[in-house]
Structure 1
Amino acid sequence: MKHLITFLLITFCLSITGQEILLRKKTEEILAEDDFGPNKKKYVHSMLSVGFNFGLQEENVSLIRGWSSFSLGYGVRTKRRLSNTFSLGYDVRCELNQYRYRPHEGSLFQQFYSAPEPDSLLVDKLSYSSAQFAPYFRINMGKRGNHLGKYIDLSVYGELMITSSHAVKFKHPNDDQVNRSTLKTRRLKYTNKLLYGLEFRYGNSYYNVYLRYRANDLLNNKLKDDPRQPPACNAGLYLFLAR
């Protein structure tokens, strides 16, 4: 009987100890989960971006076609809350940019080939892909639950150009063998491989609208005076894939 009572007491003590360990572990998991969320201490989400490139009409800049000069991208954004009002974070993005140039005397074709633009020219476009890193400072506005709410982001970004190409397409109405032809040039030396600039965003839990300005030309007179540099402005939308 004594052995049975001793066995039961030991079993009971071990059971209590095991329950305490499991309870502590569960509590730690709950606390850890509570630190992650749209309006919690930490948050991460993915996003798609679509934007349109544009620039000011200056004498030393080749003009582009507005709606057909665009950017498409995918990225991941992290956020760390500092207080109810302020947050910090950063974006990691990959992006494709395309600039379609208008046919005129200062077109990219003429600047690139140092030749008059032929009437048979159909398409004159510059394209490049890049990787971007963009830290930001966020100002939250108004009351919100466990969601992002409304906010303003002030961001700087650095961009590494991975590939670049210039393509021109021609029509040949009087040729029996060829209807259209394309000439593509890669690894362009006149494009700057390292880019940087400023970005302003206004957003909510579902999307951001943004305005971006490439600032290289402000600090580099060689780039500023080169008419082959693409226009510096981009505006568009970030759409969140997970909230």
Structure 2
Amino acid sequence: MKRIVFLISFIAFLGVLNAQTVLMDENPGQDTIVPKWGKNRQNFIHLYFGYSMFADNFSDIYTDQFFIQAPNLKWLSSHDFTIGLRYKLKITSFYAMGLDLGWNNKTFSIEQESDKSFPTPIVHNKEKIYYNTMSLEYFNRINFDRRGNKIGKFLDIGAYGFVCIGSVHYTMDILENMNSGYSTKTEVKNYSPDYLVKNGYGLSARLGINNFVLTARYRMSDLIKEKYNFFPEFPRLEAGIQFSIH
């Protein structure tokens, strides 16, 4: 009889153990976990593409000894293509900070006029200076609206530094052969011209709505080395658009 009572009690005890819920082993529902990565979360990173045009011209040279008139920029064929990664760290609902790593391909197309002196006084059919850089930017972001998990409207103010990873002075000439009636096309590429600096810095601003961004950059440092003070300075201000992939 005692064995039967013990057996019944043991089976009942096992049933009680099996019915208990161990809370520490439960997996909370996914909707109770706040994601750390997302458009309006604590962290966000995305790819972007950009196109800018220069908003000013080469600078004339004024000194006590001489005056040098700078060449004119060919606006439509001068530009800056950009591709980069942008990281944003959300601090509050209206403020964030971030880093921007970008590759910039700048093209300066020079008007060919009879009185030009930069980089040489020789008049060509085409003349361009290519300047490729890698840049790192720190920015502060102000958000303007309630937006849920999206980028929304924002203003970025930042500062950047860049390192030149390649530069080329390109010229193209077409020479007519009066005897044969044929023409000869000659292209010359001078890599890493000595008058260009290897690094610099500037200020930036962006105004955006979700994927679409208006951009402006002002380069504070010179592109021309100090020892070439008789060369005009390159355009400093550029403005354009960016499209963010997210």
Q: CA offset at residue 62 of structure 1?
A: 3.2
Q: Distance in 1 between matches of 2:227 and 2:71?
A: 13
Structure-1 residue corresponding to 2:211: 206
Preserved CA contact (<8 Å) 2:58 2:73? no
After superposition, give the CA deviation of every residue in 1:60-102 in whole Å (9 maximum; x if it has no partner).
3432111110111111111112212211111111111101001
Structure-2 residue corresponding to 1:85: 94
Q: Does the C-alpha gap of structure 1 residues 228 and 21 become closer, same or farther in structure 2, counting only changes over 3 Å?
A: farther
Normalising by the residue count of structure 2, what TM-score does the alignment of the two structures yield?
0.81
After superposition, give the CA deviation of every residue in 1:192-239 in whole Å (9 maximum; x if it has no partner).
111110111111101110111110039x99389452542111111110
Q: Distance in 2 between matches of 1:163 and 1:82?
A: 37
Structure 1 stretches lacking a partner, 5+ long = none
**1:145 equivalent among 123, 135, 148:** 148
Q: Which secondary structure state, in structure 1, belongs to the residue aligned with residue 176 of structure 2?
A: coil
Q: Does the C-alpha gap of structure 1 residues 46 and 106 become closer, same or farther in structure 2, counting only changes over 3 Å?
A: farther
Q: Distance in 2 between matches of 1:202 and 1:223?
A: 38
- Displaced runs of 4 or more, over 6 A: none
Structure-1 residue corresponding to 2:122: 117
Structure-1 residue corresponding to 2:237: 233
Structure-2 residue corresponding to 1:52: 53
Q: Which moved more, 1:156-165 or 1:39-48?
A: 39-48
Q: Percent identity among equivalent residues?
A: 19
Q: Which secondary structure state, in structure 2, belongs to the residue aligned with residue 135 of structure 1?
A: strand
Q: Find out whether 1:63 has 2:75 as its counterpart.
A: no
Preserved CA contact (<8 Å) 2:57 2:234? no
Q: Which has the larger radius of gyration?
A: 2
Q: Distance in 2 between matches of 1:54 and 1:238?
A: 16
After superposition, give the CA deviation of every residue in 1:31-62 in whole Å (9 maximum; x if it has no partner).
252x2222222211111011112424632343
After superposition, give the CA deviation of every residue in 1:179-198 in whole Å (9 maximum; x if it has no partner).
21101100121111111101
Structure-2 residue corresponding to 1:37: 38
Structure with greater proportional helix content: 1
RMSD: 2.8
Q: Distance in 2 between matches of 1:84 and 1:106?
A: 57
Structure-2 residue corresponding to 1:169: 172
Q: Which moved more, 1:86-95 or 1:59-68?
A: 59-68
Preserved CA contact (<8 Å) 1:49 1:74? yes
Total equivalences in the alignment: 229
Structure 2 stretches lacking a partner, 5+ long = 1-6, 62-69
Letter in 2 for 1:84: S
Q: Which secondary structure state, in structure 2, belongs to the residue aligned with residue 36 of structure 1?
A: coil
